[in-house]
Chains A and B, each alone.
Chain A
Amino acid sequence: SQELEQSPQSLIVQEGKNLTINCTSSKTLYGLYWYKQKYGEGLIFLMMLQKGGEEKSHEKITAKLDEKKQQSSLHITASQPSHAGIYLCGADIPPGTYKYIFGTGTRLKVLA
């Protein structure tokens, strides 16, 4: 089974709409990373969260790690076609092993 579950698996939204992507772990997260990937390309780092309750924002993208540190959400406000791509969460599980695992990704399409 997947140690990091992402939902939804895919998402199609109209431009200008808000959306949320979730990443859930069965274990406590000590570092949670969000990446964006365009088809056929490498991953682009978006944000890293380490503390429970931590929230970070970059442009119109906000990510939060919940207090229990087992779930993270990525929220996009007023989506644009440039937001389209695959969003992946990743974590160092178990912590300190330097072996990173990733969720299966959420495919986002934004209709103009």
Chain B
Amino acid sequence: DTGVSQNPRHKITKRGQNVTFRCDPISEHNRLYWYRQTLGQGPEFLTYFQNEAQLEKSRLLSDRFSAERPKGSFSTLEIQRTEQGDSAMYLCAIIVYTDTQYFGPGTRLTVL
């Protein structure tokens, strides 16, 4: 158990629909990351938060993507007007004590 849960674990949606994923860390931390991973590739950085502040966004994060971390604990990632190219595993990770990242189990998105 890495101390990070993600919901839902799987999401199937039709193109054009909006989806929201949630990341819930159970341990104390200050930095929270979102990554996207497609088949056969390593995770690609999307964005990260230092407490409530979103400090960095990848250019992969188009204007259809938005992430929030309202109280510095859980975080949500929303994708609006989903496209088939959005199909991927979305991973959340936290930094605890050191610079080591601990990952959640991921949310697998399939856009039909």
B108 touches A98 (CB 8 A): no
B99 touches A104 (CB 8 A): no
Q: Which of A4, A43, A44, A102 has the most CB of B within 10 A?
A: A43
Is chain B's interface secondary structure helix, strand, loop, or mixed overall? strand
A104 touches B40 (CB 8 A): yes
Closest to B47 in A: A99
B89 touches A48 (CB 8 A): no
Is chain A's interface secondary structure helix, strand, loop, or mixed overall? strand
With A40-B89, A40-B108, A42-B105: A102-B43 Cβ-Cβ less than 8 Å: yes
Q: Is B21 an interface residue (CB 8 A)?
A: no
How many residues of chain A get a CB closer than 8 Å to chain B's CBs?
23
B43 touches A43 (CB 8 A): yes
A4–B45 Cα distance when bound, in Å, is: 14
With A40-B89, A99-B45, A101-B45: A33-B55 Cβ-Cβ less than 8 Å: no
Digit string of A27-48 for contact with B (CB within 8 Å is 1, else 0)? 0000101010000111111001
B40 touches A100 (CB 8 A): no
Contacts of B6 in A (CB 8 A): 42
Contacts of B28 in A (CB 8 A): none
Closest to B45 in A: A99
10 CB contacts below 8 A, A to B, read: A40-B89, A42-B91, A43-B43, A45-B103, A88-B43, A99-B45, A100-B45, A104-B41, A104-B42, A105-B41
Smallest CB-CB A-B distances: 6 pairs: A102-B42, A42-B103, A43-B103, A42-B105, A42-B106, A102-B43
